[in-house]
Amino acid sequence: MERLWAPWRMRYVGGKHPPGCLFCRVIENPDEPDAELVVWRPEGAIVVLNKFPYNPGHAMVAPTKHESTFEDLDDEPSLQLMRALRGTLRVLRTTLTPDGFNVGANIGSAAGAGIPDHVHLHVVPRWNGDTNFMAVIDDVKIVNEALSQTAEKLKRAFAAT
């Protein structure tokens, strides 16, 4: 049997997550270890790379206001979130040159939200053919760039905007 090693996933699978809301932790404390994945802090929002990405550049865009659903966000935080989404799409498009995007939200644990108490949008860059034979024959996804490399590339791109 051939093995693909991804030891970094054990932190997720093992369930050893710091207490509290990821987004609030990195908003309130830029020295928090997970803050290394913050690539942009626009007004009223935060953009964080997903630690367990579906594809390179998989980002989460969250309002700085802690709310669990979109309907609880007032107009101004909603507008700031959409501005951050637009900026994120723009930077990902020019920096990573994907062929498309999946943008969406999982609201509530039953819908698959890993952070159910702080509403956020997932932005997943997609490339034609990015689903390869590994996912078909062995339920394995290959992410072809280290998360730290993607983070540094995107931090430079956001800083230049």
Q: CB neighbours of 9 closer than 8 A, spacing ≥ 6?
A: 52
Dihedral of CA atoms 90, 28, 143, 8 in degrees, nearest 10, equals 170
Answer positive or negative: Cα dihedral of 156, 121, 114, 118.
positive
- Annotated catalytic, 120? yes
Answer for the pair 91, 97: CB distance below 8 angstroms, yes or no.
Answer: no
Catalytic annotation, pick one of 58, 118, 120, 122: 120
Known catalytic residues?
A: 120
